[in-house]
């Protein structure tokens, strides 16, 4: 389905886009950002490919089925995300405007690897997150307090609006990335201030 027009409105009167069924599904392909009140992914099989930027007013509900996108999914300040797991997450970029703690429901190549940040000081602040299940290419220089660098996955987290400083919590699957000994790691909590 391709939607491209300024007069198309999906977020009035509680408009919901729900993906269900067993087949792979595609949505979008136009150039305009579409806005929905709710986006629900609850599929018995297959995946969802979003080919157009979308904005969500109130809820991104991930139950079963992965969303693949090369564009961006924006959650407004009042929007929440629920249910993310290895069975349902966003394989792509998620942006959030808000003033509360938020866990980005991102992953890559069939693996859910969320990234969480503490509440920014302003509701107008926005952050963009994405997970990559491959080795980063920014080099191997590290702070002396860091024991080792992950060599098979990484996240990007970008502050796209505002000046808030937040703490970042990273999640990973030790079996997929070969991190078998976590005894010396403790809690991974980073201060993001750039």
Residue 187, pLDDT > 90, answer: no
What mean pLDDT do residues 121-147 have? 79
Q: Residue 12 corresponds to which tokens in the numbers above?
A: 């009035």
d(CA 191, CA 170): 12
Within 10 A of 112 (CB to CB), how many other CB atoms are there? 21
The DSSP-derived string for 46-101 is --EEE-S-EEEEEEEEEEES-EEEEEEEEE-TT-EEE--BTTB-EEEEEEEE-SS-
Residue 3, pLDDT > 70, answer: no
Q: ∠ CA(182), CA(175), CA(107), 5° rounding?
A: 105
For 191, half-sphere exposure in the C-beta direction (CA atoms, 13 angstrom radius) is 2
Residue 123, pLDDT > 70, answer: yes
**pLDDT averaged over every residue in the chain:** 81
Structure confidence at residue 168 (pLDDT):
86
For 24, half-sphere exposure in the C-beta direction (CA atoms, 13 angstrom radius) is 4
For the full predicted model, state whether its pTM sits above 0.75: yes
More confident residue, 38 or 123: 38
Residue 104, pLDDT > 90, answer: yes
């Amino acid at each position: 389905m391709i939607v491209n027009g300024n007069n198309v409105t999906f977020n009035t009167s509680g408009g919901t886009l729900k993906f269900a069924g067993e087949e792979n599904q595609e949505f979008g392909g136009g150039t305009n950002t579409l806005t929905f009140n709710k986006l629900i992914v609850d599929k018995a099989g297959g995946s969802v490919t979003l080919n157009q930027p979308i904005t969500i007013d109130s809820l991104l509900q991930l139950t079963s089925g992965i969303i693949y996108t090369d564009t961006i999914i924006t959650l407004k300040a009042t929007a929440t995300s629920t249910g993310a797991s290895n069975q349902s997450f966003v394989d792509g970029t998620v942006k959030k405007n808000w003033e509360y703690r938020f866990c980005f429901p991102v992953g890559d190549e069939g693996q859910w690897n969320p990234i969480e940040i503490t509440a920014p000081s302003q509701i107008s602040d926005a952050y963009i997150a994405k997970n990559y299940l491959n080795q980063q290419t920014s080099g191997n220089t590290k702070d002396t307090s860091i024991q080792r660098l992950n060599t098979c996955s990484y996240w990007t987290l970008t502050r796209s609006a505002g000046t808030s400083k937040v703490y970042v919590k990273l999640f990973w699957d030790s079996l997929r990335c070969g991190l078998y000994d976590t005894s010396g790691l403790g809690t991974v909590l980073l201060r993001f201030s750039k």
